[in-house]
Amino acid sequence: MFYNLHKIFSGGYSVLYIKLKDISEYEEVKHEGFNYTSDGKVYDWKRLLKSMEFFGYICPIQVKFQISNNHYYVIDGKHRYVLLVKMHNKDKIIKVYLKKETRIELHVNDVIIKNKNVIDAQLKKLASDHKDLTKKSPNYKLINK
């Protein structure tokens, strides 16, 4: 129950109440690896769902604000976020912990905003190159039979 209390007292986080629709959905939750734990076991979605139905949403997710798209994104609690979206409509207001930006993070965000088009083009090229290299891999043919 007091697991996240240190976040409030540390000064590095603040408590916010925001709508689910204000949190960006991102590709990370759509790939197959998201269904596994860090040690390679299949993620137990049913257990988390039962816990959230029984106890409710008691452990707020942690978010950061992304200036470039004017949305929050989840830094801890992605699985809880996915279930919250499935359980409620997007206008549901939830409690979150907002991680405050450090001076370096604010500078990096500023650089990203100023160079967004260049970064987007480089990321698209990187994704394309990765896809091409993956298809050339000898393992690709074995996996995609």
Q: What pLDDT, in 10s, does the model give residues 55-77?
A: 988 888 988 887 767 788 888 88
**Mean residue pLDDT across the chain:** 79
Residues 6 or more apart in contact with residue 23 via CB below 8 angstroms: 63, 71, 72, 73, 74, 81, 96
pLDDT, tens digit, for every residue of 101-124? Answer: 766 666 676 777 778 788 888 889
DSSP 42: B
pTM: 0.61
The strand order across the sheet containing 71-76 reads 13-19, 93-99, 61-66, 71-76
Q: Which of 20-34, 63-77, 80-94 has the highest mean pLDDT?
A: 80-94
